Structure 1
Amino acid sequence: MRQPTASTVLIAVLLIAGCGAGPRDAASATTPPVTAPPATTAPTPTGTGFNPTDIAWLQLTVAMTERLLPVLDLVPARTTDRAWRRTATQVAAARRADLDRARRLLADAAAPTTNPHEGHDMPGMATAQEMTALRAAGGQSFHRLLAGHLRAHLAQSVRIATAEQQSGVQPATVALAAAVVRSGTADLARLDHLDRA
């Protein structure tokens, strides 16, 4: 039987994420654990309609991706390291594809086109101050800052996509969340390998 509060898990994740919180130091932040919400609150995806969790997750995915892409766009000018450039290109391509799918799904849901997270500095979103630091950095300093931002974004993306898998109901949206979990987990492993290199 479908739970009456399908968006409870994702809303809780967003509150824990600190929507509207102040700037953080991404370089010094540790990767928070990625945990799935309790299965007892998860409805089984059925039908083709969107529930509040689907909409909330799509909107946050769009907002987070729009804040990550400018970070990745800095890579060609800030480092000559081929491994970092390749990683940034691969992550950017996957995120742009996810962004296109999320925008199409929001259009299908007739959701508002305005960004409800505009101006919010949440985990996984680089702040204006952090972007300034990235633009001024080079070499290992840039790699360290970039790794911090990527890790924060990927970990948060996996966390909220897992919540969408648990509480979302719209099949294409849940499928996108599953793809985000897979690609985000793989990208985190790739990032760990780069850090050890």
Structure 2
Amino acid sequence: MRCPPACAALLAAFLITSCGPGGHPPPPAPVASASGFNGTDAAWLQLMIPMAGRALPMLDLGVRRGSTPEVRELAASLAEAHRDELDRLRELRAAAGLPDVNAHEGHDMPGMATAAWLDAMRGARGKAFDRLFLESVRAHLDQSVKVTRGERDSGADPRALAMAADLERTRTEQLKALSAVE
């Protein structure tokens, strides 16, 4: 079911402005551009790129510090997938004509790996590290799915919608893999 235009505009506004305390709203996104990208597509790209990018240091910590082979292997698999996704998301951002800037720089939003998460993980060892790591990964993956469903419901560009479908499928598989490790 597709969201009516008013719902799409509201979702786009939420995605664009849902920043942490003291955050600054990102630059305006194009709406219904000739390229086929609408405001929801732009907002989704502007959020997913920093979400995936900020997950990488967390995932790299999991590769190095996980106390079990299962945690380290999960982290490595997720890190590889996130790097590939970032490449695809950046290509879409360029196709949408969006600036190559992080509109969410310094914003701690749901699902983003924060400095506090990373500090806590760096200070933990063994099973305590694994617990923090797995909780953080779950929060990231869950939020990625929520945001991506918003894109799938209200986005317009076929390339962005295809990427969102791929990402939702991938995140669902990643959540299953996470559950097997928890």
TM over 0.5: yes
Query: Structure 1 residues 10, 152: CA separation in 2 closer, same or farther (over 3 Å shift)?
Result: farther
**1:36-55 equivalent positions in 2, closer than 5 A:** 49-55=36-42
Residue 19 of structure 2 corresponds to: 19
- After TM superposition, the runs of 4+ consecutive aligned structure 1 residues lying more than 2 A away are 1-15
Residue 27 of structure 2 corresponds to: none
**1:177-192 equivalent positions in 2, closer than 5 A:** 177-192=164-179
Residue 151 of structure 2 corresponds to: 164
The separation in 2 between residues aligned to 1:69 and 1:49, in whole angstroms, is 30
Gaps in structure 2 of 5+ consecutive residues: 23-33
Residue 9 of structure 1 corresponds to: 11
Residue 148 of structure 1 corresponds to: 135
The separation in 2 between residues aligned to 1:101 and 1:9, in whole angstroms, is 23
The separation in 2 between residues aligned to 1:61 and 1:112, in whole angstroms, is 14
8 A Cα contact 2:59 2:75, kept in partner: yes
How many residue pairs get matched? Answer: 169
**1:77-156 equivalent positions in 2, closer than 5 A:** 77-156=64-143
Q: TM-score, normalised by structure 2?
A: 0.85
- Tell me, yes or no, if structure 1 residue 62 matches structure 2 residue 49: yes
CA apart distance, 1:93: 1.3
The separation in 2 between residues aligned to 1:101 and 1:51, in whole angstroms, is 18
Gaps in structure 1 of 5+ consecutive residues: 23-46
The separation in 2 between residues aligned to 1:179 and 1:187, in whole angstroms, is 12
Identity of aligned residues (%): 44
Look up the equivalent residue of 1:129 and give its one-letter code.
Answer: A
Look up the equivalent residue of 2:64 and give its one-letter code.
Answer: A
Task: Report 1 or 2 for greater relative contact order, CA contacts < 8 Å, sequence distance ≥ 6.
Answer: 1
8 A Cα contact 1:7 1:51, kept in partner: no
Instruction: Tell me which protein shows more helix as a share of its residues.
Output: 2
8 A Cα contact 1:158 1:184, kept in partner: yes
Aligned-residue Cα RMSD (Å) equals 2.2
